[in-house]
Each structure stands twice: as C-alpha cells, then as structure tokens.
Amino acid sequence: MKKILITGSSGFIGFHLAKNLSKIYKVIGLDNHNNYYSKKIKKKRLSILKKNENFSFKKIDLKNKNELEKVFNKFKPSIVFHIAGQPGVLYSFKNPKSYKLNNTRTTDIVSNLCKKNNIEKFIFASSSSVYGDQKKFPIKEHFKVNPKNPYAKTKIESEKIIFKNLKKSKTDFLIFRFFTVYGSFGRPDMFIHKFLNSIKNKKTIKLHNKGMNFRDFTYIDDVVSILKMSINKKISKKILNICRSKPILTLDLVKMILKIYGVKKANLRETKFVKGEMLKTHGSNKNLRKYFGKIKFTDIKKGIKYTIKNYKLHKM
C-alpha cells in the first residue's frame, strides 16, 4: 500500500483529497491550523478524516524543517501532495510577508526534502491567479504569466523553485493550476460560501465589479479525481490547468444560488472593481485531456446543488 503525505489536509482541497485517498492508501495529513479563517471548519474537516483508520494527522508548521524531516523519516511517503499555502488575494496586499514565508519558503523546504528522500512523485497546487488578466481565451499553460497580487507572485516563485529543486532529481513532479475550486466544506472567505453565509445570516454581501466578473468554477470532486489519477500517471515536469473551461458571470451565479437555495432575494451591495482581482478566468483544459484522457467535469448547476445540500446538512 502506497504511503501518501498531504500538506494542508485540514484545508478545503487537502481535506477532500485526504478523505478520498485514505480509502485506498495510507495517508498522513499535515496542517498548522492557522487563523486565516475560522478554525471551526478546519477542526470539523479533521474530525471527519480521523474516522478513517488509514489516516493519521500531525499538526506542524511547514517552515519548521527539522520537524518536517522527522515526519518524512518516520512515515516514509512515496507520494507527496503539497496543497498547503497561504490563500487569499486581498489579504496578500495586507500581509505579503506571510505569503513569502507560507508559500515560497515552505515549497522550497518540502520540495528539497522530497529530493533528499527520493520521493517517487511530488504534486503541487498552484493557481490560475498566476495568469492575471489576459486578452486571449481560453488561457493556455504557455501564456505569459501576469500576476496582479502578492499571492499570485508567490505561486509563480513556488513553481520556479520546484523546477530548480527537482528537475535533475529522481522525483517526478507535476504542477496543477487550479481554477476557482468550489464545493462542500468550502473556504468561508470565497464567494460561494460567503454568499451562502450571508443568505443564512441575513447579512449584506459585497458584489465586486457589480457582479460583472467571469469565473471558471471547478467542482472539488473533479479536482480530487484528477489529483488521484496523477499518482499513477507516467508524466513529469509538466504544468497543467485544472478547469471546467466554461466560465460563468457572477450575476448569473448569484441567481442560480438564490433559486437552488430557495430564497427570492439577498442583501447585495454592488461595489467597484477590487484591486488585484481578475476580470475573467477562462482556462483551457486541452493539455489536461491530452494526458488524462476524457474527463467529465461536473455541470455548475449540479455542483452548486451538491454544495448547498451539504451546506445545509452540516450547517457550514
């Protein structure tokens, strides 16, 4: 049985990945449970993961190289998913140093430990934010990156570090650029869950750029399915988009959520464009399909239905 290490296992994507993989693999999850958003949802995710006997957890700060090295030596993983990172576009302007430390620095430490321990495969979670605003769509991996915020800049730096550290090593590696991942137990700082919370609590939510942004939403189960397949794929040294390649206007998304949730209106306050955000994300998944074959992405309406159903069920 393969042993898999997942950083950021109490985070949104890390949680879903750990939950799925621990059904068939031995998984150790690492997380520092920081204060970027409520620890309540992180603890809830972790309590679900701990129900699986194949899953074990270690609370750790990835910047602590010595402690992390002990985990590698004891657990001896063959696959490492580096999902942890400091998220959030707007917060990155307020505290750029946090992003340097928790994204760039930790990626250097984790990838170097993978090299040192001859890890079979290293898979990194990057972001579509590295592309910034583009003029041509859909966005392909070879397009020139155009970061608009410190968060995106640290993701590009992290990608470069991985190539530098692992290109001549025995460790295969893949870098995935995620496009706006959503689903149950989603991050409360992202629009869909922010909106659901505002409906439930009858509070006002800001609609940036008057809801005229386009986002290429990608359902969490689709992302996890691709990450799971990547374990046994004989490909390395690639950067690939993970996206549905069907962007939706925020205003249309709002109408969809209201209809599915079963409310007629919400307290929306339209605001101007926000610094650091992209007007449109629309990725190409042509290369992904080239390496992974036919992938059926979840329809946005279906994904939102699942998300709202789970939101109501778990009250978060």
Nearest to 13 by CA among 172, 244, 179, 154: 179
Active site residue 151: yes
Q: What is the DSSP string of 134-173?
A: -SSSSBPTTSPP---SHHHHHHHHHHHHHHHHHTTSS-EE
Residue position matching structure tokens 């001859």: 118
What φ, ψ does residue 170 adopt, rounded to 5°? Answer: -85, 0
Catalytic annotation, pick one of 25, 99, 131, 151: 151
Dihedral Cα 192, 30, 171, 64, nearest 10 deg: 120
Residues designated as active site: 151
